């Protein structure tokens, strides 16, 4: 079974279209990176549908501006939109966010990310794209596991990318210590990790009422492309119009995975344009399809174990927990 047609939603559907008729009153959601791009529209749509939304952001000043804008854009009663500081490349920050959370969590959208950045390392020695895009979100989701289970029927949404097609996960050298680094390889590996996370989260947590899926939001011009060559970016903006979505359209698949009744218990998959993607030997039409290495259950289980070991070791290094 695949989910190729959910209520007729398509590439041009918006987040509000997906949520039409859905009441999220009493539901609590966390959206990371919701100070810009599709994160803003994901949080806005969830709030409009009645959810209590926490936007987890690096820049809380910008986050409060976004929260105020969301509140102003919703007619009637102001939605509950909270702002919390979160630095995904710093496990101490992730753990502080988790420690401050209490009660159930119905929706976790792992949306934040960086893209095609020059080679950089965190204080833990982790390559920055893998640290931010995967390891920080892994620590966040596993830290919030009990809150997700408490919700009774929770969704975890992992925002990935067709960029996963540029690289599998390199278990032998994930941080580019021995192999040459290029920005797209670092990004691709981190996006493959995002999909593998959803595969294994579903296997581990599905029986506890947690549904986890990954997605490609589509081609959307946001701040993610700030490291691209300006001439290339200008050319693409001129010539690739048919591939591009608005941020409201780009947020739709995230919101679909977070709320669609049809997807209850249906997880460990990769979606695009509000439908399940085909497993293909290579990305086609620039942005479509999911490669076998991103949905390989053996790689997913191995990555979970590797990620757990890395995060646990970093907690010991920071003195957050005692060494065993």
User: Around Cβ 206, how many Cβ atoms within 10 Å?
Assistant: 15
For residues 272 and 280, give the distance between their C-alpha atoms in angstroms, rounded to a whole number: 13
b/e string for 66-104 if b means 16 or more Cβ within 10 A? bbeebeeeeeeeebebebbebbbbbbebbbebbeebeeb
Q: Residue 8 to residues 12, 18, 246, 292, 305: CA-CA distances in angstroms?
A: 11, 10, 19, 27, 38
Nearest to 46 by CA among 74, 69, 72, 65: 74
Could you say which of 121, 187, 266, 270 is catalytic?
A: 187
In whole angstroms, what separates CA 192 from the centre of its chain? 12
Instruction: Look up 187 and say whether it is catalytic.
Output: yes
For residue 159, the cross-strand partners are 215
Answer whether 59's CB lies under 8 Å from 279's CB: no
214 phi and psi angles, rounded to 5 deg? -120, 165
Nearest to 174 by CA among 139, 215, 129, 142: 129
Q: Which residues are catalytic?
A: 187
């Amino acid at each position: 079974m695949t989910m190729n047609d959910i209520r007729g939603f398509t590439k041009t559907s918006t987040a509000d279209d997906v949520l039409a008729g859905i009441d999220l009153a009493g539901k609590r959601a966390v959206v990371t990176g919701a100070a810009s791009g599709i994160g803003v529209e994901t949080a806005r749509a969830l709030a409009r549908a009645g959810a209590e939304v926490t936007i987890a952001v690096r820049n809380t000043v910008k986050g409060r501006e976004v929260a105020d804008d969301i509140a102003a854009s919703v007619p009637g009663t102001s939605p509950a939109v909270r702002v919390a500081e979160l630095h995904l490349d710093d496990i101490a920050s992730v753990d502080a966010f988790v420690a401050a959370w209490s009660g159930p969590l119905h929706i976790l959208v792992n949306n934040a990310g960086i893209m095609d950045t020059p080679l950089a390392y965190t204080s833990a020695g982790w390559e920055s794209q893998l640290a931010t895009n995967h390891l920080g979100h892994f620590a966040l989701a596993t830290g919030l596991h009990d809150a997700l289970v408490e919700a009774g029927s929770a969704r975890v949404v992992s925002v990935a990318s067709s960029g996963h097609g540029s690289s599998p996960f390199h278990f032998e050298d994930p941080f580019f210590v021995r192999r040459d680094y290029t920005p797209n390889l670092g990004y691709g590996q981190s996006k493959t990790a995002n999909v593998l996370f959803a595969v294994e989260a579903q296997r581990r947590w599905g029986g506890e009422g947690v549904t986890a899926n990954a997605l490609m939001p589509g081609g959307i011009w946001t701040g993610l492309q700030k490291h691209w060559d300006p001439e290339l970016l200008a050319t693409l903006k001129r010539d690739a119009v048919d591939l591009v979505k608005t941020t409201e359209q780009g947020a739709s698949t995230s919101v679909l995975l977070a709320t669609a009744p049809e997807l209850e218990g249906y997880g460990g998959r990769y979606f695009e344009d509000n439908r399940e993607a085909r497993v293909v030997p290579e990305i086609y039409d620039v942005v479509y399809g999911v490669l076998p290495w991103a949905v390989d259950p053996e790689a997913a289980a191995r990555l979970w174990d590797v990620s757990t070991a890395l995060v646990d070791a970093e907690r010991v290094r920071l003195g957050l927990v005692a060494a065993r």
